[in-house]
């Protein structure tokens, strides 16, 4: 990828209402990120935006690139060699990741270990045992650099390879007390990764997005101690949606920190008490090829795709949508519009901030 293309990709993903799915659709539709940037104002207008959308400027992303370089990080694009190998196959992979540290760990088979922040001594010990065993079997250990289980998993896999996924920008570590651990991860050849902009302070709603990356980078997720309503269970749910293996360490029925893991086991997660159990389950799929998400920069301004649609088609689609998520196929059947027309209408609504995307390719209107 050229420097100009990387800057255009960063501008597009940093613009208002452009998430990973919309980014991919824009690039595929218009042939390049540069073409898509030119089209954004008109798409927003046709989608019914109430105000002018913010499009990231060249000076803005050049500043972010400079901050990344000063921080010792780089931006890796989807499709490049250093992009995490398994992440390419999830729905809506981030088009760009900020990565600090070794690139080799991102290409190796990985297993996530997550769990309670207020973990017990036994839970932290179990996380370390799993991490060491997986590392000795050449698996990279992925986690979220949180207190408790996450920190124990990272510590135990420093020598064999570990990846920490951030909820905020790479320069906005949370919790701050793990700054030393983050430094040791990089020094040992591991990696810190984030899809969020530099300077972005993590908010509560950013952690599910981080958890989706944790599972997406990995072949499977092992949960060690988790309450019934916890981020670790979100990670396990994302793993199941992404076709990853879900493992859980059983715990005492009397410990609230084990309620979530025991519930995972009741609902079909694989019970594990040692790294060998995880390795045995994953061995058949190690090395299996993951098909990447389609995204092609052709640079062609004359692609065979509609650049506008009849107002009647746009009206039928909007009338068919509501706050309840609905599948794309159902919209096509109900409205009679052509797939290319629907594709463009949904992009317009997304850029205007009126479309909400849900799992399984379902969409709904923001009311």
SS3 63: helix
| Residue 263 dihedral angles phi and psi, to the nearest 5° | -70, -40
CA 155 to chain centroid: 23
Going by C-alpha positions, the residue among 29, 17, 109 that lies closest to residue 56 is 17
pLDDT in tens, 224-237: 999 998 999 999 99
Percent of the chain at pLDDT exceeding 70: 94
- Greater model confidence, 366 or 178: 178
Find the Cα–Cα–Cα–Cα dihedral 246, 250, 253, 255, rounded to 10°. Answer: -90
β-strand pairing of 220-224 with 140-143 = unpaired
Taking only the tens place, the pLDDT of each residue in 195-218 is 999 999 999 999 999 999 999 999
- What is the pLDDT at residue 1? 87
For residue 288, what pLDDT is reported? 66
Among 146, 207, 143, which Cα is nearest to 176's? 146
Q: Summarize pLDDT for 64-107 with one digit per residue, the tens.
A: 999 999 999 999 999 899 999 899 989 889 999 999 998 899 99
pLDDT band of residue 172 (cuts 50, 70, 90) is very high
**How far is Cα 191 from Cα 211, in angstroms, rounded to an integer?**
16
Cα 142 to Cα 42, 277, 293, 333, distances in angstroms: 41, 17, 22, 42
Q: What is the pLDDT of residues 289-329, one digit of tens each?
A: 655 555 656 554 444 466 778 899 999 999 999 999 999 99
What is d(CA 247, CA 245) in angstroms, rounded to the nearest whole number? Answer: 7
CA dist., res. 361 & res. 291, Å (int): 17
pTM over 0.75: yes
Q: How many CB atoms sit inside 10 A of residue 350's CB?
A: 24
Q: What is the pLDDT of residue 83?
A: 95
Give the end-to-end CA distance of the chain in Å, rounded to a whole number: 39
Q: Which is more confidently placed, 91 or 133?
A: 133
Q: What is the maximum alpha-carbon separation in the chain?
A: 65
Note the helical H segments in the chain: 3-13, 20-30, 33-46, 58-71, 121-136, 149-156, 179-187, 206-217, 231-241, 259-266, 275-282, 311-320, 328-335, 339-351
Query: What is the DSSP annotation of 251-299?
Result: --TT-GGGHHHHHHHHTTPEE-SSHHHHHHHHGGGTT---PPPP-----
Within its chain, how far is the Cα of 201 from the centroid? 17
Q: Calculate the average pLDDT of the chain.
A: 92
- Give pLDDT, residue 360: 76
- Which range, of 170-174, 297-301, 330-334, averages the lowest pLDDT? 297-301
């Amino acid at each position: 990828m050229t420097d100009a293309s990387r800057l255009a990709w960063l501008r597009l993903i940093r613009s208002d209402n452009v998430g990973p799915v919309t980014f991919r659709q824009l690039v595929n539709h218009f042939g390049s990120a540069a073409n898509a940037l030119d089209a954004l104002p008109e798409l927003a207008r046709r989608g019914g935006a109430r105000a002018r959308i913010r499009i990231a400027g060249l000076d803005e992303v050049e500043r972010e690139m400079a901050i990344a370089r000063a921080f010792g990080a780089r931006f890796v694009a989807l499709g490049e060699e250093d992009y995490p190998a398994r992440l390419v196959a999830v729905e809506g992979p981030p088009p760009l990741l900020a990565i600090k540290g070794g690139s080799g760990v991102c290409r190796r088979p990985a297993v996530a270990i997550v769990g309670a922040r207020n973990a017990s001594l036994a839970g932290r010990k179990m996380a370390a045992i799993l991490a060491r065993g997986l590392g000795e079997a050449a698996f990279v250990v992925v986690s979220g650099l949180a207190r408790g289980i996450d920190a124990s998993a990272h510590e135990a896999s420093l020598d064999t390879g570990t990846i920490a996924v951030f909820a905020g920008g790479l320069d906005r570590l949370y919790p701050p007390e793990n700054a030393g651990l983050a430094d040791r991860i990089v020094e040992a050849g591991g990696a810190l990764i984030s899809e969020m902009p530099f300077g972005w302070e993590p908010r509560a709603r950013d952690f599910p997005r981080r958890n989706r990356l944790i599972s997406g980078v990995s072949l499977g997720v092992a949960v060690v101690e988790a309450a019934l309503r916890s981020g670790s269970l979100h990670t396990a749910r994302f793993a199941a949606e992404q076709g990853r293996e879900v493992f859980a360490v059983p715990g005492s029925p009397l410990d609230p920190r084990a309620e979530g893991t025991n519930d995972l086991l009741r609902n079909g997660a694989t019970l594990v008490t040692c790294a060998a159990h995880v390795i045995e389950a994953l061995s058949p799929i190690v090395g299996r090829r993951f098909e990447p998400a389609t995204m092609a920069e052709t640079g062609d301004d004359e692609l065979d795709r509609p650049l506008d649609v009849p107002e009647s088609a746009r009206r039928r689609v909007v009338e068919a949508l509501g706050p309840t998520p609905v599948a794309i196929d159902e919209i096509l059947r109900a409205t009679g519009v052509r797939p290319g027309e629907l594709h463009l209408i949904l992009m317009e609504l997304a850029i205007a901030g009126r479309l909400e995307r849900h799992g399984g390719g379902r969409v709904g209107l923001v009311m």
